[in-house]
Each structure stands twice: as structure tokens, then as C-alpha cells.
Amino acid sequence: MDSPALLAIAALVLGATAIGFVVRARSGRVVVASDPSSTDARLAVPGAEVTLLQLSSPVCSACAVMRRVTEELVAGEPALARRELDVTEHPELASAHNVLSTPTTLLVDATGAVRGRIVGAARPEAVRDAVRSVREQLGAAA
């Protein structure tokens, strides 16, 4: 094997490794940002202060991880609710909220306004912090 082949192989391995670290760093990232233009009362679970709306797909292993994390969080908090929708059945939601990958979890307030999002599976503490930030945001607005 001569040097162009070895160079290409080295470049591929290094490039894929770099992509992997970027992907890992971005997974579970929480973005708290109000988007009042996208208020849709149907998104919120009635009676919940904050709804964790998980957009999933059938071909998504991280969706099951995120399901467990949010189910546990919601179980201990009566003001929190979670729901999960399949993007296959709701392509309009994926487009409206610019969902590029699953799971994407939207943090929705009681009026149906999206207050933040978590892309990928996140650690329980990260989800808890995200919910806390959304509540602070809601408290400041009230």
C-alpha cells in the first residue's frame, strides 16, 4: 500500500473521531430559549406547569434512554408531565420545530409555548436543570 492510501485511511479515522467527539459533546445539550411564535396549546398536557414533549422515531435507541430518564423525573413531580410523539405520525411538528434528529425533547409551558429543547438523550441532572430554568423563566414573566 502506498502513501496516498495510508494518508486517506489516516484522514478518515481522524475525521470520524473528530466528528464523534463533536456529536458526543452536543448530545443532551439543553437550549433554553422562548419561542412564543410557536405557541400551540395542543402540545401541553392539560394541568401541567411544564410538559416534556419527546419527539421520537421508530429507529432510535437513544429515545428509549431519554424515555426512562424523563419518566423517572416526571414520576416525582406532579407539576411536570411528559408525552411522546412519533415524528412519522407528526411530520408537521418536526418541521414546525425544526427537529433534525430524535430524540428531541421540547419543554412546553401550560399555554403550549416552547420554552426550551433538549437534543439527544440527556443525563437526569441536565433535564432537571432545564426544567428549573424554564420555571425561572416562567416565574420572571409572571
Partner 1 sequence: MSAAAPAPGAAGTQGIDPRGPRFGAAITAVLLLVVVGLALSGQLVAAIAVHAALVAIFAWGAFAGIRRHPWGRLYARLVAPRLAPPTVREDPAAPTFAQLVGFLITGAGLVLQLLGVPGAVVVAASLAFVAAFLNAVFDYCLGCQLYVLLVRAGVIRPRAAA
Per rule CB under 8 A, is residue 57 in the interface with partner 1? yes
User: Looking at the chain, which runs of residues are DSSP E strands?
Assistant: 29-35, 50-56, 80-86, 104-109, 114-119
Least Cβ distance, residue 140 to partner 1 (angstroms): 33
Select from 61, 76, 140, 142 the one that contacts partner 1 (CB under 8 A): 61
Q: How far apart are CA 72 and CA 40, in angstroms?
A: 26
Per rule CB under 8 A, is residue 19 in the interface with partner 1? yes
Least Cβ distance, residue 21 to partner 1 (angstroms): 8
- Beta-ladder partners of 54: 84, 105
Per rule CB under 8 A, is residue 12 in the interface with partner 1? yes
With CA atoms as reference, report the closest residue to 71 among 58, 90, 89, 56.
56
Cell, residue 97: 420545530
50-56 and 104-109: which strand pairing? antiparallel
Residues 64-123 that bind partner 1 (CB under 8 A): 64, 87-89, 91, 94-95, 99-102
Least Cβ distance, residue 118 to partner 1 (angstroms): 15
Least Cβ distance, residue 97 to partner 1 (angstroms): 11
3-class DSSP assignment, residue 44 = coil
**Contact residues for partner 1, defined by CB under 8 A:** 1-2, 4-6, 8-9, 12-13, 15-17, 19-20, 23-24, 27, 57-61, 64, 87-89, 91, 94-95, 99-102
